[in-house]
Amino acid sequence: MTDVEILELTNKVLAEEFELSPNQMKPEASFREDLELDSLDAVDMVVVLEQTFKIKIKKDEAFKSIRTLGDLHAFILAKKEEMGD
Amino acid sequence: MRLNKVVITGLGAVSPFGTGMDALMHGLISGRSGVRAMEELSEIAGLRPRIGGKTPECDAASIPRKFRRSMSAMSIFAVLAANEAVAQAGLEPKEIRSAGTGLSVSSTIGSTNALQAFFSNFLDGMSIEGIRSTEFFKIMNHSCAANLTQYFGITGRVMAPSAACSTGAQAIGLAAEAIAMGRQEIMICGGADELHPLTVGTFDIIEAASTGHNDDPQSAPRPFDAGRDGIVCSDGAGMVVLESLESAQRRGAVILAELAGFASTSDPSNMASPSSDAIKACMNAALKDAKAGPEEVDYVNAHATGTVLGDAAESRAIGELFGDATPVSSLKGHLGHTMAASGALELAATVRMMRDEILVPTRNLEVISPDCKGIEHILKLQDKAITFALKNSFALGGINTSIALRRI
């Protein structure tokens, strides 16, 4: 999977899970303020991303510092790279 | 001791006839049945009933995701019904969020569909991985109450009394008492349930479910009929807005009826088989609470689910208390048994009958069973002014409830 495909898939699964529209999926979008997601949604985001990309996120400290969709994109790409994908 | 008169100012319904009180009343008045064949039940080994009164698709998407994410079907039904009741009562968001407004709503059990999803995952490898954060909020016993509290922003008292098929009536009765005692001015209250094969199976196992009408679903259940063979399970939600008379008058709300009396009594004689003496005692207690005598009652909306023992015991109790001239009907021939919703849905329909001056007959009652005789069964739609009605709801575990309604 290319980096672009990974980012597109990330946006797709988040949009489905949280009922977001494509025009909301901008890298600078803040999860809390712009996308109005809360701590329960963060838990579900981990579940969805772990299932989608077959990665482990739950106890990753770096995940806790994610604030924007762009932060998440960078995190997922780093994770996939780390896993040798 | 009652400090305040309690009145009904809003009604809401989600039923096998669809969303809204008008859909409910149209179905009842036109004599339709909400019972359908349920092919999915045939996939379950050992389960005999193949019919049910499943609520049709409703507008769940109108509930914002933030609230909907923790709701199973029963909470969605309850929100939609409560929205209707609140709108009819003319309650503003500020009034709903004030400390004077409380909530009393429950179901027979938390969402069995959510429980099934949880345990399917859990038992498959003893894992909780992949379970969503909001799953437990659908399973907990006060799921409906908690979800409606968040949705409406309730800050007053919230109660989730659960008593199987008496749940809706008990939730309304206890809400009325909170108002009568001056603890709350307004209560949004009722009951809700969602159909799952466990419910159908429960009644099948104890030989209380209809099994002989799978080929003709709309001919069951048959309350009071000689050919009755048990309950048909359904789902939905009934919600009402109660408030003190003073609150309703101050707000200029239309008063639909007075909730004049309530009784919740228990029958320790048997877990599943009701005694007519206990039913009579419950109806008597509700009348006493309303400071009314049996002669004032001009309609009894029976619990009558279509079981052999339950209908006979209720008929005997009604006959002994009211004689053979007080009209009686059960709405379960149209709706099936909507479980925790039944007391609230059928009470809401009774209030509408009082407003519209009609009496809905018992659907599927063709040959009155010998053990259900001695009371005035309604067999056809009638025009009748009802001043005082009694609504019965009884439950497994021997939890009986009666609510007295007075037109004012």
For B197-224, how does the pLDDT look when each residue is reduced to its tens digit (9 = 90+)? 999 999 999 999 999 999 999 999 999 9
Give rounded-to-5 percent helix, strand, coil for chain A: 60, 0, 35
pLDDT tier, B125 (very low <50, low <70, confident <90, very high otherwise)? confident
Residue to mutate among A41, A54, A58, with most B CBs inside 10 A, is: A41
Instruction: Please say if the pLDDT value at position B96 is more than 90.
Output: yes
| Range B250-270 average pLDDT | 96
Which residues of chain B lie closer than 8 angstroms to A51, CB-CB? Answer: 130
Average confidence (pLDDT) over B302-331: 97
CA B362 to chain centre: 16
- Tokens 């309690």 belong to B6
The distance of A55 to chain B (nearest Cα, Å) reads 12
Which of the following is catalytic: A3, A34, A38, A44? A38
For B252, counting Cβ atoms within 10 Å of its Cβ (0-12 exposed, 13-18 middle, 19+ buried), the class is exposed
**Each residue of B288-305: pLDDT tens digit?**
999 999 999 999 999 999
Q: Which two tokens stand for residue B349?
A: 């329909």
Judging contacts by C-beta atoms under 8 Å, the chain B residues touching residue A41 are 133
Pairs of residues, one from chain A and one from chain B, whose beta carbons lie less than 8 Å apart: 20
Residues of B in contact with A44 (CB under 8 A): 132-134
Could you tell me which residues are beta bridge partners of residue B257? B8
Selected residue of B62, B63, B66, B131 to mutate for chain A interface (largest A Cβ count, 10 A) = B66
Mean pLDDT of B151-160: 98
Say whether A40 and B69 touch across the interface (CB within 8 A).
yes
Contact residues, chain A, for B130 at CB < 8 Å: 47, 50-51
pLDDT of residue B217: 98
Q: Are strands B236-244 and B186-193 parallel, antiparallel or unpaired?
A: antiparallel
Contacting residues for B204 by C-beta, under 8 A, at least 6 apart: B47, B48, B49, B211
Among candidate residues B234, B259, B223, the one with its CA nearest the CA of residue B348 = B259
- Determine the distance in angstroms separating the CA of B257 from the nearest CA of chain A, rounded to an integer: 42
Whether chain A has a CB inside 8 Å of the CB on B69: the answer is yes
Q: Give the pLDDT band (50/70/90) at residue B273.
A: confident
Confidence of residue B351 (pLDDT cuts 50, 70, 90): very high
Residue B336 pLDDT exceeds 90: yes
pLDDT at B184 over 90: yes
| Chain B residues in contact with A40 (beta carbon < 8 A) | 69, 133-134
Structural domain B7-406, CATH architecture: 3-Layer(aba) Sandwich (3.40)
Write down the pLDDT at residue A85: 56
pTM of the model: 0.96
Dist. CA B247–CA B47, nearest whole Å: 50
Q: Rounded mean pLDDT of chain B?
A: 97
Q: Which residues of chain A have pLDDT under 50?
A: none
Task: Assess whether A38 carries a catalytic annotation.
Answer: yes
pLDDT of amino acid A1: 87
Q: Residue B389's CB: how many other CB atoms inside 10 A?
A: 24
What per-residue confidence (pLDDT) applies to B1? 58
Interface contact A47-B134, CB threshold 8 A: no
Q: Which of B65, B129, B134 sits opposite A18 (nearest CB)?
A: B65
**Is some CB atom of chain A closer than 8 A to the CB atom of B127?**
no
Which pLDDT score, from 0 to 100, does residue A32 have? 96
Residue of B nearest to A44 (CA): B132
> Cβ distance B240 to B348 under 8 Å?
yes
* Nearest of B234, B137, B243, B135 to residue B192 by alpha carbon: B234
Q: Given CB atoms, is B133 within the 8 Å cutoff of chain A?
A: yes
Distances (CA, A) of B307 to B38, B220, B223, B267, B312: 20, 11, 7, 18, 8
CATH T-level assignment (fold) for domain A3-82 = 1.10.1200
Check if A21 contacts B (Cβ < 8 Å).
no
Given an 8 Å threshold on Cβ–Cβ distance, is A47 in contact with B132? yes
Residue B266's nearest CA partner among B394, B165, B79, B376 is B394
Under 8 Å between Cβ of B205 and B309:
no
ipTM: 0.90
Closest by CA position to A29, among listed A10, A47, A57: A10
A window 28-67, beta carbon within 8 A of B: 36, 38, 40-41, 43-44, 47, 50-51
- pLDDT computed for residue B121 by the predictor: 85
Q: Which two tokens stand for residue B309?
A: 């023992």
φ/ψ region of A4 (left if φ > 0, alpha if ψ in -120 to 50, else beta) reads alpha
Residues of B whose CB is below 8 A from A45: none
| Cβ contacts of A47 on chain B, cutoff 8 Å | 130-133
Integer Cα distance of B19 and B311 in angstroms: 29
Active-site entry in B196, B213, B334, B337:
B337
Asked if B387 has any chain A CB less than 8 Å from its own CB, the reply is no
Q: Do B308 and B353 meet the contact criterion of CB atoms below 8 Å apart?
A: no
